[in-house]
Amino acid sequence: MVTPSWRDLRPETAVSGEVSGTTRYIDIFQVRQLHTLQRPLTETAYEMAFLISSQVMELYFGLLCHELARARREVVADDVPATLRTLRRSVGHLRALEATWESYADMTPLDWNPIKAKLGKGEASSVHSYMFRHLAFLLGQKSPEMLEPHRSTPLIHQGLHEALSAPSLYDEVLALLQRRGLSLPDSAVHRDFAEPYVARPEVEAAWVRVYHDESFADLRELGEALTQVADRFHRWTDAHLTVTMRTFGAKPGYAHTPAVGWLRDRLEQVVFPELWSARTTM
Ligand code: HEM
């Protein structure tokens, strides 16, 4: 008797994608295709959860790129109320993104090792998540060196290069502050956007003024919405580090770098830095 495989225990229709006829629901959400996008390589307990939560995270990276690009346009159009709505939606998406870690919160190295072995040691790394990189660039985390892993995919590399050189959401917010009469040095507003952002005392002072001066109440709300976005993004990054420590320990990661140390360095990179540092003098 052939032992049935434990690899994929979903209903046959999910695995094969075969559905006779269709419904509006199936068509709108592309349900047939969606369920055939998971190809587990092992029979281990956590692989399906790992595959699906990774795909869900990728989709959320895309959704956040969409929303934050919209917020950036709304800032350029001086439409603060619309930006606030978009950022509040984005905070909800970031909460959902963080919750996806729950699917394998208790995974141990013994559960993870066989999955990782099948992914290809040293080859498969999420540094190849180009959608995450677009998101990081939009949030102002500009790191030209993170284009390197995308050299073998020229169109993705080109798209990321353009995103690197474009103003981030925060760059456009600083331009808005300047348009609203706040004193910001030109070097903060007209800079080489491909270069990593450097926090400036003048920008910090501008935020302090925004928070104290009632005539800037709408900008203060904008500052708070941006702080929430940064906070929630940071929590996802922090949870990622914890998952890595639990499942991977201090093994070397992609390109033989010290994985946990590398992720800790990333965690140190504060999103919208002056919105945090300004609180000391408020
Ligand atoms: C057990 C699960 C996971 C472990 C052990 C893990 C581990 C790591 C490690 C060690 C790195 C550093 C680069 C490298 O050496 O590859 C990394 C980077 C990264 N991982 Fe994960 N990861 C896991 C799950 C995920 C998932 C589900 C996602 C989302 C799709 C993800 C997204 C990322 C991203 C975007 C980076 C680059 C981070 C940055 O540039 O700041 N990881 N991960």
Both 125 and 237 in one domain: the answer is: yes
Tell me how far the alpha carbon of residue 126 lies from the centroid of ligand 1, in angstroms.
5
Check pocket membership of 22 for ligand 1, CB cut-off 6 A. no
Q: What is the position in ligand 1's atom list of the atom closest to the CA of 146?
A: 40
Q: Which residues contact 166 (CB under 8 A, 6 or more apart)?
A: 137, 193
Both 26 and 51 in one domain: the answer is: no
Q: Which residues contact 27 (CB under 8 A, 6 or more apart)?
A: none
Q: What is the position in ligand 1's atom list of the atom closest to the CA of 104?
A: 1
Please tell me the predicted confidence (pLDDT) of residue 235: 98
Which domain CATH number covers 92? 1.20.58.480
Both 74 and 162 in one domain: the answer is: yes
**Encoding tokens for residue 209?**
């003024």
Both 68 and 30 in one domain: the answer is: no
Q: What is the position in ligand 1's atom list of the atom closest to the CA of 259?
A: 10
Burial class (CB in 10 A: 0-12, 13-18, 19+), 98: buried
Residue 6 maps to a domain: yes
Task: Kindly give the confidence (pLDDT) of every residue in the chain, 282 residues in length, as a single tens digit, with 9 standing for 90 and above.
Answer: 678 899 999 999 988 888 889 999 999 999 999 999 999 999 999 999 999 999 999 999 999 999 999 999 999 999 999 999 999 999 999 999 999 999 999 999 999 999 999 987 667 889 999 999 999 999 999 999 999 999 999 999 999 999 999 999 999 999 999 999 999 999 999 999 999 999 999 999 999 999 999 999 999 999 999 999 999 999 999 999 999 999 999 988 877 788 899 999 999 999 999 999 999 999
Question: Using alpha carbons only, what angle is made at residue 228 by residues 248 and 185, rounded to the nearest 5 degrees?
Answer: 110
Q: Indicate the angle between helix axes 130-138 and 47-76, nearest 10 degrees.
A: 30
Phi, psi of 258 (to 5 degrees): -70, 100
Both 56 and 16 in one domain: the answer is: no
Considering only CA atoms, which residue is closest to atom 11 of ligand 1? 259
Both 19 and 137 in one domain: the answer is: no
Please tell me the predicted confidence (pLDDT) of residue 115: 95
Mark out the alpha helices in the chain (DSSP H runs).
12-16, 24-28, 31-35, 47-76, 80-99, 109-119, 130-138, 154-165, 169-179, 186-189, 201-212, 217-248, 259-268, 273-277
Gap between the Cα atoms of 243 and 237, Å rounded: 10
Gap between the Cα atoms of 110 and 44, Å rounded: 10
**Encoding tokens for residue 253?**
């990661």
Residue with tokens 């909800």: 92
Tell me how far the alpha carbon of residue 118 lies from the centroid of ligand 1, in angstroms.
16
Both 18 and 122 in one domain: the answer is: no
Both 228 and 103 in one domain: the answer is: yes
Pocket test for ligand 1, best of 47, 126, 265 (most atoms within 8 A of CB): 126
Supply the DSSP string of 220-268, one letter for each residue.
HHHHHHHHHHHHHHHHHHHHHHHHHHHHHTT-B-GGG-BHHHHHHHHHH
Please tell me the predicted confidence (pLDDT) of residue 122: 62
Range of the domain at 102: 47-280
Both 21 and 120 in one domain: the answer is: no
Considering only CA atoms, which residue is closest to atom 12 of ligand 1? 259
DSSP category for residue 46: T
Both 96 and 204 in one domain: the answer is: yes
Both 93 and 191 in one domain: the answer is: yes
Check pocket membership of 131 for ligand 1, CB cut-off 6 A. no
Residue 42 maps to a domain: no
Check pocket membership of 262 for ligand 1, CB cut-off 6 A. yes
- Among 188, 282, 187, which residue's Cα sits nearest to residue 227? 282
Check pocket membership of 129 for ligand 1, CB cut-off 6 A. yes
Q: What is the position in ligand 1's atom list of the atom closest to the CA of 50?
A: 27
Pocket test for ligand 1, best of 118, 237, 240 (most atoms within 8 A of CB): 240
Both 220 and 91 in one domain: the answer is: yes
The letter for the amino acid at 73 is R
Residue 242 maps to a domain: yes
Considering only CA atoms, which residue is closest to atom 7 of ligand 1? 244
- Dmax (CA) for the chain in angstroms is 79
Considering only CA atoms, which residue is closest to atom 17 of ligand 1? 126
Tell me how far the alpha carbon of residue 105 lies from the centroid of ligand 1, in angstroms.
14
Which of helix, strand or coil describes residue 26? helix
Please tell me the predicted confidence (pLDDT) of residue 247: 95
* Residue 226: CA count within 13 A, CB half-sphere: 29
Please tell me the predicted confidence (pLDDT) of residue 121: 62
Check pocket membership of 143 for ligand 1, CB cut-off 6 A. no
Q: How many domains does the chain have?
A: 2
